[in-house]
Amino acid sequence: MTEFLTLPGAVSGEGPDAGVAAHYGNPVLEQRALESGRAVVDLSHRAVLAIPGEDRLTWLDSLTSQSLRGLAPGESAETLLLDPNGRLEHAVRVLDDGETAWLLVERDQAEQLLAWLSRMRFMLRVEPQDRTGDYATIATFGDPAALGLPVAAPNGVLLAWRDPWSAVRPGGHQYSHADDHPGAQWRETEVLVPRAELASVADRVAAGELAAAGTLALEALRIAAWRPRFGAEVDERSIPHELDWLRTAVHLTKGCYRGQETVAKVHNLGKPPRRLVLLHLDGSDAVLPGPGAPVLAPREGEEPVAVGSVTSSALHHELGPVALAVIKRSVAPDAQLLVIADDVTIAAAQEVIVPPDAGAVANVPRLPRLGRVTR
């Protein structure tokens, strides 16, 4: 059991965040402390993979969606591993220290991802390893050095992954039309600390030297920033376009990788079948829908029709009850929606993240009809 669960008021999380603290008694105050850079979040349930070897970056570049071959020591990136049809199989946070590429992933991704990478080694100089037993992940919006976190640096470079979600990465594309994208305020850093040092960080929290926030606080801020998470927004049908993940995790001109054909076709010629939205929920009944809660669109004179489902939800300290949901592309952007949770019908106003016109960005000349006379 993580030492953070022994802190006063700690309540264990559920689902993908089982095993660490969901909160310590007041998730709303914890959000404010986290957003201000004063708090840390125990993510020691997440997995840490390491890939030492001279070919590590060019190898990862050839397998995944982001351009990684030029990643400098200490630089952060994220990349996606897709199946041959372009559907999401893994989302990976990547940090290189000049000798080893460090991959931060959800706990239930690690075994399958490590096995697949090991099969793809061939004759290359790479050695995929699971280092979860050696390193634990801690998240913060503050400066890890100012907070005094014992950040690991096994090869002389601090292992601090800074989330690139705050801006569109080179080679990426943003479908959102928002002038003021909330992701610009997202400043999460995930640091690796020696797992043996996790207890000392928890002791500093207990002594009042450091504030702690639970995963509920982190999730609320993530949802408000429209930031997709593999363990929440992704299902067996997901493609990156539906979640606006081309912003940071896909390089559109870097060359071939598995699933690249689908990525290019949907982006240039087609449209994603579904789209991510933020839902502002009516809080009158004090019910927060869980993942999988149905999202319905009312129809005049008829029963509402199912158009999607909730993927994440939270009580945000400023926005109130909010949720991310994946819905059909055809749903009108101004449609008022309904969410069903615990037999309660909740009114929901959608804020468009991925618009219905996303995709088909290629400027393809229109050919004249056969037999038409042109001048």
CATH number of the CATH domain containing 20: 3.30.1360.120
Domain match, 226 and 330 both = no
Q: What total number of domains does the chain contain?
A: 2
pLDDT of residue 363: 59
Planar angle of CA 218, 205, 159, nearest 5 degrees: 60
Quick one: 225 and 77 in the same domain?
yes
Q: Which of 233, 261, 296 is the last residue of a domain?
A: 233
Sequence-distant (6+) residues with CB within 8 A of 126 are: 51, 52, 53, 55, 56, 59, 117
Measured in whole angstroms, the distance separating CA 26 from the mean position of its chain's CA atoms is 24
- Residue pair 288/315 in contact (Cβ under 8 Å)? The answer is yes
What are the pLDDT digits (tens) for 255-276? 899 999 999 999 999 999 999 9
Contact 308, 233 (CB under 8 A): no
Residue 137 is given by DSSP the state E
Whether residues 109 and 209 share a domain: the answer is yes
CA distance 219 to 22: 10
Shared domain for 167 and 68, answered yes or no, is yes
**Contacts of residue 243, Cβ cutoff 8 Å, sequence gap at least 6:** 228, 233, 234, 276, 326, 354
User: Within this chain, do residues 201 and 297 fall inside the same structural domain, yes or no?
Assistant: no
Q: pTM of this prediction?
A: 0.94
76 and 194, same domain (yes or no):
yes
pLDDT beneath 70, residues of the chain: 363-375
In sequence order, which residues have a C-beta less than 8 Å from that of residue 250 and are 6 or more positions away?
65, 66, 80, 171, 172, 173, 240, 263
Residue at 361 is within a domain: no
19 and 97 together in one domain: yes
Strand partners for 312: 324
* Within-domain flag for 161: yes
Asked whether residue 127 is domain-assigned, the answer is: yes
Of 157, 163, 150, whose CA–CA distance to 189 is shortest?
163
Note whether 202 and 302 are same-domain residues: no
Let me know if residue 251 belongs to a domain.
Answer: no
Angle at 95 (CA atoms; ends 182, 114), nearest 5 degrees: 110
On whether both 177 and 107 belong to a single domain, the answer is yes
Q: Look at residue 369 and tell me if it is in a domain.
A: no
> Side-chain half-sphere of 365: how many Cα atoms within 13 Å?
3
- Owning domain of residue 290: 273-352
Instruction: Let me know if residue 113 belongs to a domain.
Output: yes
Asked if 159 and 31 sit in the same domain, the reply is: yes
The verdict on 50 and 138 lying in the same domain is yes
In a domain, 362, yes or no: no
Pairing state of beta strands 39-42 and 211-213?
parallel
Residue 207 lies in a domain: yes
Are 197 and 278 contained in the same domain? no
Tell which of 185, 217, 233 closes a domain. 233
At 375 the pLDDT is: 44
Q: Give me the CATH number covering residue 291.
A: 2.40.30.110
Rounded to an integer, what distance in angstroms lies between the CA atom of residue 50 and that of residue 47?
A: 10
